[in-house]
Structure 1
Amino acid sequence: MDLKKRLGYSTIWMSIGATGTSITSFVVFVVISRLLTPAEIGLVAFTLILVDIGKLIANAGLGKAIVQDPECGETFASTCFYLNLIFATLTAALFYFIGVPLVEAFYDPAAGPILQVLCLLLFLEGVKAVHEGKLKRSFAFRIIAARTVFSSLISGVVGVYMAFAGYGVWALVAQQVVNLGLVSLTTIWMARWRPSLTFSAGHARKLMRFSSPLLAAQLMGTVSSKVYELLVGILIGPAALGLFKVGGRALYILQDIVLKPFEHTLLSALSRLPDTPTMAHATMRVIRMSAYMTFPIFFGAAAIAPDFIVLVFGQKWETSGQLMTILALGIPPMVVGFHIKDALTAKGHSRQVMNLAGVMLAINGVLGLSTVPLGLTAAAVGFSARNYIVLVFYLRLFRRMMGQSPMGVLKAVGPAFTASIMMMLLVMGVGMAVPGDVPTYFSVPMMCLAGIVFYLLLMATAFKQETSNFLDEGADMLPAKVKPVAQVLQRLLGTT
């Protein structure tokens, strides 16, 4: 099977896995959020932000080294495993003995015991990193997808049961621990690999040279993406963080569904391409396809957000709907930057990725400190604005390292961006035209249907060439059984 088809199959499987996992976790979150107060949600949300940062340190970027290395022999993999084990143990200890007292002192004493339990996740993340890297390296994404869906379902059942049983915030904590515990166990079992009792200092130095800049970049990138939530929690309080978190929760689910599959598969695919021009061209094609699929989703989410939040989470979260609209407007530039970062990582430009992450952190810090004290709405505006500012730096680095002009990238995503904006405005108009006495369980689906129909009509008429390119690319990546569907669409649109 050629690389394009492997990428297609892998992306489909990861989409299935991400969709199943995200829907399950979203349902669990909805149930629990209806039972808890914004302040209680804010307590768990703050500790999970810290745990997400800790997971990166525990992983240390070494899992990506397994995927990226052209040979990855037994000694190399075993050395990587033991390094990960050291990082994971030290990180868990650091968070337990230092992080917990700091959280209790500067955030909320009730968050301390929660973080103590979640420190277990940091150790589990490091234990499974190499095994997961081996699965990705061999394009075993069907196994990865099955693992994530299975673990999500079981942990979701546990979380919902505990929520209805009155365990409060501990329902969310238990869900997280059970989920990663099952993921780790099944990953180790399915990888069918055990580390040998070998450790190479030479391999360790090579691993650290590759992973250190990547770890720093991932760490700064994650802190950058979470800095607004951290500042909201510290400067405004747990209840405000709960509202902000709910406003972004549906968007995180959408990102998991439409972006996570690319995150898991694109690096593996691009790392196998022979030279920079080929890799750059492939990245441009992925950016173009991704924009066609994802831009309307996020702009559509912005249009329906106020009604959607009230429908799903309840009236007490109404403020979160306004925040979701603003936050959704900032996702499209992040999609483009996401793919550029993967291309740079696949090419081995981890130090440049690290430097760019430092710039992002500085921008986020300045914007966060400027906007968060002004309130939740200002914080959401700053969060979205930073994605457009950071995209400028991504485009400049893409041109310098891989020869792709910023204008070429903007032209590639222009049709999808324009059509998505037009679609969003139409959906907002439909929402305003719906009588106030129409229930949201009817108006929200009606708005979604109007958006889908209008976007497809625009892309099939005003941007017909873009649709032709999308179907051509998709037809090459689809399984043989599904390919006739794309060919029928091509004939109907007259793009063959």
Structure 2
Amino acid sequence: MKDRIGKAVFWVGWSKGFVQFLSFLSTLYIARLLSPNDYGLMAMTGIWVGALAIVTEMGLSAVIIQFKDLDDRELNLCFWGALGMAGVGYGILYAAAPAIADWFAVPMLCEILRVVSLTLPLTAVRIIPDGLLRKALALDKTSRAEILAVGVALPVQVAMASAGFGVWALVTGTLLMPLMQSVVTFKLSAWRPGIRMGSARARAILNFGSAKLGGSISWAVYEQTDSLVLGKISGEVGVGLYSMAKQIALLPVHKISVVVNQIAFPLMAGLQDNVEQMRSVFLRQIRMVACLTFPLCIGLALVTEDLVWVALTEKWLPLVPVLQVLCVSSVVRSCEVLFPPLLLARYRASVLFRWTIGLLLVMPIAFWAGAALSGGLGVALVWALVYPVMIAGMAQRALREIHLNWKLVWDEVAPIVKGTIVMAISVSMLHSAMHTTDAATHMLRLVLSIGLGAVVYSGCIFWQGGRLVGEIVQLVRWVIGKDMTFNPKSTTKGA
């Protein structure tokens, strides 16, 4: 187990770093070539495809990881069930596309939606082999699949955008990614589907999967409601600006916190009967995630104007205040994703379901009010002000499962918060002292801000000392492949 976790960190660290670096650069380059309208069309499409993708997945990824010793008949049942649901989902979206386009008053959306919906079966086909690889912590193989998929999709996407294909460059990349990832995942997995299906644990699997699915559906609906409401009120340009801001603001969440969860869920599932080790692992996770995401989110909020000037050009400047608010909200969201694996590992999927139902009842109304009052900025403020209140109860229940309280959690992140505050003050002082007039001065201030922030924050963390410094050193050794071992008990002291 220790060797597998160390190997998983090594592969996830390098593959995610490489893939996300390329993705970020290509996103910035393509955004310079395309318009907010193009991104608005994709955001409107993603609302429906994203929601149906979660429905057709049926909670099976969690079932594969959580349940021990699934036999071939059970795996076959899950595979064909997911593929059948994906086919039904595609048929529903194909038939509903004209009505959706009419509702948004964007005729072109119909054709785009019918094409992008093909991602449903392309993604469903890899649910089982991908889940088996993740359950075994064979993240080196899932990482290879992702690297190869990105390596094929991104060059095609960039070439099409450069050739003037507009939104169809984004559509093509959206299709190529799951296609290549599914092909490579099947190649690297030893499992193959068969036709014999059945299970003596069908009821238990169905109950767990249904609760997970119910929570996922509710999450998908409220998560996409911001774009849905904004698209209806502000049109494709408004939602295009917002979707780009949201994509950039959530980079630390998607590229760090979600990556940690790829290891956390199977690890927590394996430790489900050992509360002490679950508590130790969770505290280490929240320290490491906060150590990276807090300064990144706040730093990104501080340099937003310079970043947009340099990377996206003037046509994207209206997103600056929206991006700044979303970056602040991402501080909370980066840690929030660490709590659900605790509940799932303890078979508390029903708690997540009830929580997401609450979100579904509150967040859409808040989004509508925010969008009506102040467009994209109003929606961003909902994420910053309302969402943290909504997650408090779920997080409290998760902490109770591993016998933790908020004071102990604060003790773990306090040095990180202090370092982030000092960094923010330093960068703000630099911005006040350095005025910008053109792209060149924005570039200079951006570079100086990043350098100053990195030096000040690192200095604060190492000056305060503590076990966080040792864990940073160990993480670096994992990433460079020098140390492939992991000891969850090493975090027990003081926990």
Give the structure-1-normalised TM-score: 0.91
Taking the aligned partners of 1:309 and 1:12, their CA distance within structure 2 comes to 32
- Structure 1 stretch displaced more, 333-342 or 98-107: 98-107
- The equivalent residue for 1:105 is 103
Matched, 1:396 2:396: yes
Deviations 1:387-440 (A, max 9, x none): 321331233212443322122223322221232133123212212322324522
Q: How does 1:91-130 map to 2 (within 5 A)?
A: 91-130=89-128
Counterparts in 2 of 1:43 and 1:223: CA distance versus 1, 3 Å: same
Unaligned residue ranges in structure 2 (runs of 5+)? 486-495
- Structure 1 stretch displaced more, 411-420 or 74-83: 411-420
In structure 1, which of residues 46, 55, 58 is the aligned counterpart of residue 56 of structure 2? 58
Taking the aligned partners of 1:467 and 1:255, their CA distance within structure 2 comes to 20
Amino acid paired to 2:386: R
- The equivalent residue for 1:205 is 203
Deviations 1:369-390 (A, max 9, x none): 2211112222211122233213
Taking the aligned partners of 1:58 and 1:83, their CA distance within structure 2 comes to 9
Tell me by how many angstroms 1:106 deviates: 3.5
- Per the alignment, in what secondary structure is the counterpart of residue 106 of structure 2? coil
Taking the aligned partners of 2:479 and 2:305, their CA distance within structure 1 comes to 36
Q: Percent of aligned pairs with the same residue?
A: 21
What's the Cα RMSD here? 2.2
Counterparts in 2 of 1:412 and 1:223: CA distance versus 1, 3 Å: farther
- The equivalent residue for 2:385 is 385
Q: 1:80, 1:207 within 8 Å by CA — same for their partners in 2?
A: no
- The equivalent residue for 2:158 is 160
Q: 1:395, 1:406 within 8 Å by CA — same for their partners in 2?
A: no
Taking the aligned partners of 2:286 and 2:52, their CA distance within structure 1 comes to 30
Deviations 1:265-319 (A, max 9, x none): 1111111113233323321221122111221111111111111012111111012
Taking the aligned partners of 1:223 and 1:417, their CA distance within structure 2 comes to 32
Tell me by how many angstroms 1:178 deviates: 0.9
- Structure 1 stretch displaced more, 19-28 or 117-126: 19-28
Amino acid paired to 2:235: G
Tell me by how many angstroms 1:325 deviates: 1.1
Amino acid paired to 2:78: C
Q: How does 1:216-235 map to 2 (within 5 A)?
A: 216-235=214-233
- The equivalent residue for 1:442 is 444
- The equivalent residue for 1:492 is none
Counterparts in 2 of 1:260 and 1:17: CA distance versus 1, 3 Å: farther
Tell me by how many angstroms 1:479 deviates: 7.1
Q: 2:40, 2:236 within 8 Å by CA — same for their partners in 1?
A: yes
Counterparts in 2 of 1:48 and 1:20: CA distance versus 1, 3 Å: farther
Amino acid paired to 1:416: I
- Structure 1 stretch displaced more, 168-177 or 441-450: 441-450
Tell me by how many angstroms 1:449 deviates: 0.7
Tell me by how many angstroms 1:109 deviates: 1.7
Matched, 1:291 2:293: no
- The equivalent residue for 2:148 is 150
- The equivalent residue for 1:308 is 307
Taking the aligned partners of 1:206 and 1:483, their CA distance within structure 2 comes to 36
Amino acid paired to 2:122: L
Counterparts in 2 of 1:103 and 1:127: CA distance versus 1, 3 Å: same
- Structure 1 stretch displaced more, 423-432 or 76-85: 423-432
Amino acid paired to 2:72: E
Q: How does 1:61-460 map to 2 (within 5 A)?
A: 61-200=59-198, 202-273=200-271, 274-375=273-374, 376-437=376-437, 439-460=441-462
Counterparts in 2 of 1:410 and 1:225: CA distance versus 1, 3 Å: farther
Q: 1:229, 1:245 within 8 Å by CA — same for their partners in 2?
A: yes
Q: How many residues align?
A: 481
- The equivalent residue for 2:489 is none
Amino acid paired to 1:170: W
Amino acid paired to 2:351: Q
Taking the aligned partners of 2:161 and 2:399, their CA distance within structure 1 comes to 50
Counterparts in 2 of 1:477 and 1:154: CA distance versus 1, 3 Å: closer
Unaligned residue ranges in structure 1 (runs of 5+)? 485-496
- The equivalent residue for 2:29 is 31
Q: 2:367, 2:382 within 8 Å by CA — same for their partners in 1?
A: yes
Deviations 1:77-110 (A, max 9, x none): 1121111112211111111112552233335221
Q: 2:241, 2:316 within 8 Å by CA — same for their partners in 1?
A: yes
